[in-house]
Structure 1
Amino acid sequence: MSTLEKLNPVPRYSTLRITESADASVHWCHMHADLADNPGRACFKPALVNEIIQYQWSLADRMRRARGEDGAGLQHVVLASDCDAFNLGGDLQYFCDSIRRQDRHALLTYARQCVRGVHAFHTGLDAGAHSIALVQGDALGGGFEAALSCHTIVAEEGVGMGLPEVLFDLFPGMGAYSFLCKRIAPHQAERMMLSGDVLSSDELYKMGLVDMLVPRGQGVQAVEDVIRANRRIPHARAAMHRVRAMSQPVTLEEMMAITEVWVDTAMQLGEKSMRTMERLVRAQYKRHGTPAAVSA
């Protein structure tokens, strides 16, 4: 067993399973830890979003203190999942409830929290960390946005990834356009967002949207390989983060402004869009073995 595989549990959260390496330089954040005992939807429920942000704040503080005290080297944070989906996207049930109540404040608060979370992964928690998304199951909508926010995307073969929001006349507003345009041309990003197509990880690798494609079951080893490679060039990798931030900035202000457009668009949706979202909610419940809590 490699050093990277010797992970220490760090219990604290209800929706996350947190582990870290013995030397506290590799930090794994597994989403949907609650679904093992309480089947539900593998989406960005408000509780999951809030816990991710709490974890990011706490970890970033530890990283900055460690770097200041002993000159700790490049650290890594890995976003993964404890169920068969990486993440199926935003909480569509919450969207429907907020839109029907015309509660713009609730929807905007939720969206801003999502943006804070993905932007933190994009900036390495503002602590010089290298973020990695390990995608071993479907990453849709906000789940795909979360993966795109990370410095490196490792995906297993045959995984579905895409932005289906156009199916209910909405667009992905928590970073998709900003992050896609750092990897592909803007017109390709727009085409992907407006098509609603779910593509395989194999196709996305060919497009340059996935950094490393590996066979099923080999994702964890591939992440370890990425970390091992980075450890051989820690100063060059850290410098590349800074260069990327200078030449291809994605600011929190930009993302918050786009989120305002997303919320204003969502608040205009009618019953047809609501029914489509509710069908998707039922499919999410069915996928993880829980009867739908949404009327047919």
Structure 2
Amino acid sequence: MNNVEKLQRTRQLPTIRVESEPSGDAHWMYMHSNAAPGVRPCFHSQMLDDVLGFMNSITLRDSQRECGKLRHLVVASDAAAFNLGGDLELFSRLIRDNNRDQLLSYARRCIDGVYHLNTGLGGDVRTIALIQGDALGGGLEIALSCHTIVAEEGVQMGLPEALFGLFPGMGAYSFLCKRISPQLAEKIILEGSLYSSEEMHRMGVVDVLVPKGQGAAAVQSLIDRQRRAPHAHLALNACRNLAQPVGYNELMGITEIWVDTALALGDKSLKMMERIVRAQEKRASCRVA
């Protein structure tokens, strides 16, 4: 039975599309569903709310979890890009208005999302990022928060926030340091360079690299293999959260530094941010056309 036959139930939210197995054991969440021409494939507030809302809806209480039952959540995209990161247009406006409360509120919702993914939605879920298009900034951060990153060849990945004097403040440093050395993590963050998925695989950031067009099949194969040893993978979730924890307080402390750093940016940095927004809009219009 192929993946299309298994995923029979589809839920449509304003900005995401979800396909689920009838059993509820696996969900494929596609960001940027039905994006209008010119809409940037980034974390607009509505999509952030939809992603958080869906993840909360499939999170089970302790009393609901079945012993030995392993579930999966795949984070993917309907757009040509996986995700281009945070809403730079919103950031620029809030920084110019010196609106710390709203900037922190946005950042806190991002932290809620990546923390939930990283801890396996309470422990019984293995999370997988399927990257079939460019993953930049916050887009790479959500992928890094997942247990496994599956990427197709030929896509770009990176943390370009240094271009406008900022740093990725929603988990990048914490999650990267669980995959690579802190020195290499700092180099990636401070240089702001873009890397191919092949380079990220060689560095150890990407777990599984496959040819273009084979990402979904690779993810399904991974899910099938993990299901053959559910107790082991559930135990690994628990071990991971003990041996390599990324705590909520750590993530929030870093994102508060991000907020204060963002509010200190000058006009030159904000103009660069706004130029990137225009470039993203142009790119989105061309891809849709």
CA–CA separation in structure 2 for the residues paired with 1:245 and 1:158: 32
Look up the SS of the partner of 1:154 in the other structure: strand
Q: Conserved in 1, the CA contact under 8 Å of 2:38 and 2:282? A: no
Look up the SS of the partner of 2:74 in the other structure: strand
Who is 1:238 aligned against? 234
Measured after TM superposition, the shift of residue 12 of structure 1 is: 4.2
1:119 equivalent among 115, 118, 142: 115
Who is 2:18 aligned against? 18
Who is 1:67 aligned against? 65
2:96 equivalent among 90, 93, 100: 100
Q: Aligned pair 1:58/2:68, yes or no? A: no
1:202 equivalent among 198, 202, 205: 198
CA–CA separation in structure 2 for the residues paired with 1:254 and 1:66: 29
CA–CA separation in structure 2 for the residues paired with 1:121 and 1:270: 34
CA–CA separation in structure 2 for the residues paired with 1:261 and 1:184: 22
Which stretch of structure 1 is more off in the superposition, 122-131 or 254-263? 122-131
* Compared CA separation, residues 162 and 3, structure 1 to 2 (3 A): closer
CA–CA separation in structure 2 for the residues paired with 1:140 and 1:5: 32
Look up the SS of the partner of 2:11 in the other structure: coil
CA–CA separation in structure 2 for the residues paired with 1:188 and 1:162: 13
CA–CA separation in structure 1 for the residues paired with 2:37 and 2:162: 30
Unpaired segments ≥5 residues, structure 2 = none
Q: CA RMSD in A?
A: 1.5
Q: Please give the residue correspondences for 1:1-296 in structure 2 after superposition, counting only pairs within 5 Å.
A: 1-2=1-2, 5-35=5-35, 37-61=36-60, 66-68=64-66, 71=67, 73-289=69-285
CA–CA separation in structure 2 for the residues paired with 1:286 and 1:49: 22
* Compared CA separation, residues 60 and 202, structure 1 to 2 (3 A): same
CA–CA separation in structure 2 for the residues paired with 1:249 and 1:122: 9
1:206 partner amino acid: R
Measured after TM superposition, the shift of residue 67 of structure 1 is: 2.3
Could you list the per-position Cα deviations for residues 168-227 of structure 1 after superposition, in whole angstroms to 9, with x for gaps in the alignment? 000000000000000001111001100101100000101111000000000000000110
Could you list the per-position Cα deviations for residues 219-256 of structure 1 after superposition, in whole angstroms to 9, with x for gaps in the alignment? 00000011011011111111111111111110111100
Which stretch of structure 1 is more off in the superposition, 252-261 or 37-46? 37-46
Q: Conserved in 2, the CA contact under 8 Å of 1:4 and 1:224? A: no
Measured after TM superposition, the shift of residue 11 of structure 1 is: 2.4
CA–CA separation in structure 2 for the residues paired with 1:65 and 1:276: 50
Who is 1:293 aligned against? none
Which stretch of structure 1 is more off in the superposition, 235-244 or 171-180? 235-244
CA–CA separation in structure 2 for the residues paired with 1:25 and 1:64: 16
CA–CA separation in structure 2 for the residues paired with 1:278 and 1:253: 31
Look up the SS of the partner of 1:114 in the other structure: helix
CA–CA separation in structure 1 for the residues paired with 2:123 and 2:238: 12
Q: Conserved in 2, the CA contact under 8 Å of 1:169 and 1:273? A: yes
Q: Conserved in 1, the CA contact under 8 Å of 2:15 and 2:46? A: yes
Identity %: 51
State TM-score, norm by structure 1: 0.93
Measured after TM superposition, the shift of residue 142 of structure 1 is: 0.3
1:106 partner amino acid: Q
Q: Conserved in 2, the CA contact under 8 Å of 1:4 and 1:21? A: no
Aligned residues: 286
Measured after TM superposition, the shift of residue 10 of structure 1 is: 3.2
